[in-house]
Structure 1
Amino acid sequence: MFDCCLYFNLNVLTRTINRIWEEAFQRLGLSPSHAYLLRLVLGEPGITQKRVAQALGLAPSTVTRFVDALAAKGLLERGPNAADARESALYPTAAGQALEAELDATGQALFQRMRSTLGAERFDQLVTTLREAQAAVAGQ
């Protein structure tokens, strides 16, 4: 019945992937979304919330909630933004930095697991197709 339904099939895949990612990051006490935001800040200390929202495709209000949650856990903090005093910048704390290797290892393990499960070529094609489709749909 739903063989040709993009909405249904994409949501089924999304729920399955979410379960796998949630289990993987649960041991670090983070949701996948929080983990990816923290990885972004670790990779670019001083990044603005606006840039985080753009990079992760999230609404600014969602990023604010995620930043608040990570700050409450002591993993990142807001600080001055040298480029624009109207907007704060995000920096990892020492506790956040201490998670960097585990976050990277978890991300790499998930990448390898999915690439192995789907096959390297199929995995690479799927990721490319999803990125292209997102860009096309967003550009409508």
Structure 2
Amino acid sequence: MSLIQEEKDLLTYCLYFTSSRFARNIAKLADQAIDGELAPSYYYMMLVVHFHPDITQKELSQRLSLAPSTSTRFLDKLEALGWIHRTSRGKQSHVRLTTEGEEVYGSFRQSLKQLFADYAAILGKDESKQLSKSLRDANEKLERA
């Protein structure tokens, strides 16, 4: 095998490299589609809170596969902006969107539609859906391992 072919095979079949490269490319599209004050990850956190009002911080961290310290940092920022409200019940912190947070979520939801349209225009609608499902399934397997 030639060095060029070996390099091509490593870059093609190395899941780490391929997924990192894909993540960078999709992040560029997301940054263009999601016109907000914060990184897209904050808005995804708001999405989960929107669908699960009064979710505990622990459940939120688990759903997003985030370390508790990371979710705390994100929530601190969202709370400072007035987009979420946290309440303590015993040892647990519960999170919900504020009225302003719901408005921000509505704008984000429109941005998600634009993001899908952008990458579906490049990859195709069916391939986009299948790729997303395959990545979700693979992530779930890796997280259970």
- TM-score of the superposed pair, with normalisation by structure 2: 0.85
Letter in 2 for 1:54: Q
Matches of 1:89 and 1:139, distance apart in 2: 26
Task: Mark the runs of 5 or more structure 1 residues left unpaired by the alignment.
Answer: none
Kindly provide the CA deviation profile for residues 97-136 of structure 1, in whole angstroms up to 9, marking residues without a partner as x: 2212211111121122222321122112211211221122
- Identify which of structures 1 and 2 has the higher relative contact order when contacts are C-alpha pairs closer than 8 Å and 6+ apart: 2
| Aligned counterpart, 1:72 | 80
Tell me if 1:22 matches 2:27: no
Say which one has the larger Rg.
Answer: 2
Equivalence for 1:4: 13
Give the count of matched residue pairs: 136
Superposed CA RMSD: 1.5
Residue 62 of structure 1 aligns with an amino acid whose one-letter code is: T
Counterpart position of 1:13: 22
Tell me the TM-score normalised to structure 1 length.
0.88
4+ aligned runs moved over 4 Å, structure 1? none
**Mapping of residues 38-77 of structure 1, within 5 Å:** 38-77=46-85
Q: Deviations over 1:16-57 (max 9, x none)?
A: 1112212332x3212111011112212222111111111111
Tell me the equivalent position of 2:4: none
Per residue, is there more helix in 1 or in 2? 2
